[in-house]
Amino acid sequence: MTKVYVGMSGGVDSSLTAALLVEQGYDVTGVYMKNWTQDLPGMKCPWADDLADAKRVAVQLGIDFKVFDFENEYKHRVVDYMIDEYKNGRTPNPDIMCNQEVKFKLFLAASLEDGADMIATGHYARVKDGTLMQAVDANKDQTYFLYRVTGEALGKTLFPLGELTKPEVRIMAQERGLYTAAKKDSQGICFVGQVGIREFLNNYVQQKPGDIIDKSSGKLLGRHDGAIFYTLGQRHGLDVGGGLPYYVVGKNMDKNEVYVTTDLNDASLWKTEINLSNIHWINNAPANGKYQIRVRHRAKLVEAELSHEAGNVHLVLVNTERAITPGQSVVIYDNEICLGGGIVV
C-alpha cells in the first residue's frame, strides 16, 4: 500500500485531500507543518487553532498524525528573503518561496525520510508524470504559486483537488462531516493570517519618513512612512488628498522617495516587454516562441513571445499589462501545462 503524508493546515482543502486519499486506499498520515507561531501586535497567530483543527480531522479519519517543525528554516528561507526583497525596493511573493523551500523541499524530504512514498497537499493543481497542469477550477488554480517546484518533486506529489471546484470541495467536506467543512479560507500573508504586509514589515523595519513627489511636475505632494511600504500601481495609503486619485509609478530606495501620478496612462504603469531573472523551469526549458503568461495570481493568461537571453527570459506581450512589478513572478504556460517562470527585473 502506498504511504502518503498529507500536509494538513487545518483548512477545508487539506482536510478533504486527506479524506479522499483514505477513500482511494492509500496509507495516509496527516502532517501539520509548524512554520510560524509568532504573535504580532493586535494579531494572535492562529497556528494553535489550525493545529487543533488538523488533529480533529485526523482523528475523524482514523489516520496517524505528526507535527514537523520547520520554523527556523522557514524564518531563514521565506521570511528573511521577503524582508530583504522589500528592503531592496522589490515586491516578493512569499507563498511561492514557501512552496519552493518548505512544502516541496523540506516537507517532501522529511516525509520520504520518515517512510512515506509520496506527499499530498490541498493545492488546486494537477500533476501528470512530473508535469504541472492547471486545475479544473480556473478561479482557484494555484499553479502560479507552484512554478518553482521541481518536476522531480511533483513526481512524488498528489493533488487530489485538481479535478474539483471549490464549491464541490465544500459540499464533499460537508457530506463527510469533516470538522473544517465550513471553516473560512485564510487570507493575508501565508504565515500571519489576517495581518497585512505593511503591519508585518513594521515589526522588522524602522519607519523612515520621506517625500511623495508628483512624477510629472516634481512637486512635493506629501510624506510617507517609508518607500519600502509602497508598490507599483498602488493607489491606497498615499494620503495626498483631493482631486483625482494618485498611483505609485516608481520609488527611489536610496533617496527614500515615492513617485506618483494621476495619469492612468503613464508609461511606468504599462509594459509591453518584460525581463525575467532567477528563471526556473519545472522540467525542460521551452524553445523560443509564443506562450501564455500570468503576471499575478488570478490574472488572465495573456499571449507573449518568449526568447532566452543569457540565462534570462525576455517576453514581448501582445497587449500592454498594468503594474508589472520588480520582485513579482511571471509564470509561463503552454496551454494547460505550467512550464515555469521567473522574477520581474
The catalytic site residues sit at 98, 190
Q: At what angle do helices 12-23 and 166-175 cross, to 10 degrees?
A: 60
β-strand partners of 305: 290, 316
Q: What would the grid cell of residue 87 be? A: 528592503
| Nearest in space to 33 (alpha carbons), one of 19, 14, 20 | 14
Cα distances (angstroms) measured from residue 302 to each of 319, 321, 344? 8, 9, 16
Cα(72)–Cα(106) distance, integer angstroms: 12
Cell 531563514 found at: 76
The angle at the Cα of 303, spanning 288 to 281, to the nearest 5 degrees, equals: 45
Q: At what angle do helices 12-23 and 47-61 cross, to 10 degrees?
A: 20
Q: What would the grid cell of residue 332 be? A: 509561463
Cell 508589472 found at: 324
Contact predicate 51/31, CB 8 Å? no
Contact predicate 120/157, CB 8 Å? yes
Contact predicate 33/103, CB 8 Å? yes
Cα(182)–Cα(21) distance, integer angstroms: 20
Q: What would the grid cell of residue 191 be? A: 504565515
Terminal CA-to-CA distance of the chain, rounded, Å?
A: 47
Q: Please give the distance of CA 26 from its chain centroid, rounded to a whole number.
A: 29
Cell 519545472 found at: 282
Cα(179)–Cα(322) distance, integer angstroms: 41
Q: What would the grid cell of residue 287 be? A: 524553445
